[in-house]
Amino acid sequence: MHRIPTNPLFWSLAVFLFPLLIEVSYSDFVREGEYNSRIGWSFITALLITLANRRWATALVLLPFMLGGIADIGYAYTFGGVFTTATLEAVAYTDSSEVAEFAGAYASVMLFSLYGIHWLLYAGAIYFSKPVTNIGWRRTIYSLGILLIIVVSYRTSVMGRFHDTIPGVLGTIPSYYRGAVSLEHEVELRKAMLASTPVTASIKDKRSQIHIFVIGESLNRSHMGLYGYHRDTTPYLSARQPELVTFTDAISSHAQTQASLRVALTAADSENGHDYRQALSVIDLANLAGYKTWWISNQQPQRATIASIAHQADTAHYISNDFKGVEVRRFDEYLLPVLSQALDDDAPHKAIFIHTMGSHAKYANRYPESYHQFTGNDVVSYREDPSSYEVGAINEYDNSVLYSDYVAETMIRALEQAENAEVKTFTLFSDHGEEVYRSAKIKGHSPDNVTANMVEIPLIVWSSNNEKLKTALENNQHKGFMLDDLFHLTGGILGIESGVIQKDKDISSSHYLSNNQRIIYNKEYDKVFKRDYQTAND
C-alpha cells in the first residue's frame, strides 16, 4: 500500500501548481514568470514549514496562497485569463453589491469543484506535511529556500518587481497599488492641470442648446434590433430610425470600463499613450466653452479616473447615494428625475453626461420584471445546442437591452419636450461591448480572450434643429470609428471652436478621416476581430 507523501515540498508544490494547472488549461497565455514564481515559492514555504514544524504554522504560511489560488482559479475558469493590473483595477472599483452579483452570475458546479480540490490540497498540506528527514532533501530545501528568500526580498524591496515574483493575484495586488493614484490625488492633478492650461474654447452657435450624452454599460450592438438583431430588442429606437444617425462601425478601445472611458472621455488616446490624467476631459472642454455641465450616474462614485472627471461638472449626482449604495437593483429609470431637473435649468447652454448601469454584470438585476419578455430558445449562440444556462443568460441580456431602449426613448422624449432650447442632441454609446455566448463560450468582458462582441458598440445620435450637424454625421455613419476619439466628436456635437479639437478625428466633421487601422490589445481590429464577427453572422 502506497504511503501518503509527507515531504512539505510535495504539498507546497501541490498548493502552488494546481492553480497554475487551471490557468494553463483555460488561458491562452501564461507568463513564464508565473511558472518560476510558483516553483520558487514552493521551496520557500517548504523551508518555513520545516523550520516551524507545527500544523498551525503550515496553515498560516500557506493560507494567503490558498486564498490567492481561489481568485486565480476563478478568474482563469470564468474569463480564460490571468490577473493583470488592468483586471485588478476593474475589481478595485467594484462595490460589494457588484461583487455579490458577479459571484451569483458565474457560480457553477465545475467552479466549486475546482475550489474544493484546491482546498483539499491545502488541508492535505496542513495534515500530512512533516519535517524532512532525508539529509539530501533537507539540504536542498534549506539552500534553495534561503537563496530564493534573498532573491524575492531584492526583487520586491529594491526593484519593486512584485509581478512575476509573487505568484498570481498576490503579486498583482501590490503592483497595482504601487502604480495607482488615489482619487483625491487625481482630482488635485486635474485641478492643477486646468488651472495652468492655455486652452481656449468657445461656442460657435449662440442659440440656446441642450446636449445629452449617454454612456451605456456593456451594450453590444449585435444584440440590438436597430442593428439587425433577429429579436426586437430596441422597438423604440427602431421606430425612430429615420430620425437617428446610426453608426455601423464604431468600436471601443478596450473591453473594460476604466480603460475605455479614461481615453474616451479625455483628449488622450490609446494610440499615442498620452497621460489621461494630464489631458482635458469632455467636461473640461464644455466648461471652458461656457456650457453648464452635469454628470448624472447610476454607477458607484468611487471609480477614480471617471470620478475625477465628474468632479469638474457643475453638478454631479450619483443615484447610488440616494440609496446609500445598498440597492442592488437600481434601475436606470431612477436617473430620469435628475435629468428632468437638469432639463428645467435655465442655463442657455447645457451639456448633460449620463452614465447608466445598462447591461452590467448580472443582467436580470438591470430591469424590472415587466421587461422579462425574452424567454424562448430562439437565440444566436457559438454552438448549435446551447445549455439552458447559456440560453437563460442570453435571454436576460436581451431583456436588459430592451429596458435600455425604453430608458433611451424616455430621455429623448423629455429632451424633445424641453422648451428652453433651440438646438438639441442626444448621443448614445457604450463603454464596451459584451460577449454573451455568441461567438465563444464566454459571458462578460475581459482583456483575455477578447472577442469582437466585447468591443463592438452602438453609436447613435439624434438631433433637432441642426441640419448641418446631421448631414455631416450621415456622411460618416459607415466609416470606422474608435471610442478614444470621442473627445473630438463631443466637441463637434457641442459646436465648440478650440485648437484641441482635431477635425480629422471628429466623426461629425466633413474633414473626418476614417479610422481603419484600429488596434485592440496589440491586434488590428479590422483584420482580426471584425473578420471573426462577420463569420459568426454569416
What pLDDT digit, counting tens, does each position of 184-241 carry? 777 888 888 888 888 899 999 999 999 999 999 999 999 999 999 999 999 999 999 9
Stretch (H or E) spanning 110: helix 109-128
Measured CA to CA, the distance from residue 405 to residue 224 in angstroms comes to 9
Task: Categorise residue 398: left if φ over 0, alpha if ψ from -120 to 50, beta otherwise.
Answer: alpha
pLDDT in tens, 32-89: 788 899 999 999 999 999 999 899 999 999 999 999 999 999 888 887 778 776 667 6
Beta strands in 386-535 (DSSP E): 423-430, 435-436, 443-444, 459-464, 481-482, 496-498, 519-520, 523-524
The secondary structure of residue 157, as a DSSP letter, is I
Measured CA to CA, the distance from residue 482 to residue 498 in angstroms comes to 21
Given this model, what pLDDT does residue 496 score? 97
- Tell whether the torsion through CA atoms of 221, 227, 228 and 232 is positive or negative: positive
What mean pLDDT comes out for the span 506-510? 96
Residues 6+ apart with CB under 8 A from 341: none
The secondary structure of residue 431, as a DSSP letter, is S
| Gap between the terminal Cα atoms of the chain | 59
Given this model, what pLDDT does residue 91 score? 67
Please identify which residue in the block is written with the cell numbers 501590490. 174
Check pLDDT > 60 for residue 278.
yes
Rounded to two decimals, the pTM is 0.75
What mean pLDDT comes out for the span 295-321? 84
pLDDT in tens, 146-173: 999 999 999 888 887 888 889 988 888 8
Backbone angles phi, psi at 347, to 5 degrees: -60, 140
Burial class (CB in 10 A: 0-12, 13-18, 19+), 410: middle
3-state secondary structure of 317: strand
Given this model, what pLDDT does residue 289 score? 97
Given this model, what pLDDT does residue 163 score? 80
Check pLDDT > 80 for residue 271.
no
Given this model, what pLDDT does residue 124 score? 95
Task: Return the higher-pLDDT residue of 126 and 193.
Answer: 126
Half-sphere CA count of 11, side-chain side, radius 13 A: 31
Residues 6+ apart with CB under 8 A from 482: 250, 251, 252, 253, 270, 515, 518, 525
pLDDT in tens, 327-348: 567 899 999 999 999 999 999 9
Instruction: Using alpha carbons, select from 173, 162, 533, 192 the residue that is nearest to residue 382.
Output: 533
Given this model, what pLDDT does residue 326 score? 46
pLDDT in tens, 225-259: 999 999 999 999 999 999 999 999 999 999 988 88
Residue type, 461: V
Measured CA to CA, the distance from residue 458 to residue 430 in angstroms comes to 6
Q: With bands split at pLDDT 50, 70 and 90, how would you rate the model's confidence at 175?
A: confident
Instruction: Using alpha carbons, select from 408, 473, 397, 399 the residue that is nearest to residue 433.
Output: 397
Half-sphere CA count of 108, side-chain side, radius 13 A: 14
pLDDT in tens, 345-403: 999 999 999 999 999 878 998 999 999 999 999 999 999 999 999 999 999 999 999 99
Measured CA to CA, the distance from residue 178 to residue 339 in angstroms comes to 38
Measured CA to CA, the distance from residue 272 to residue 262 in angstroms comes to 14
Domains of the chain are 8-179 (no CATH), 213-537 (3.40.720.10)
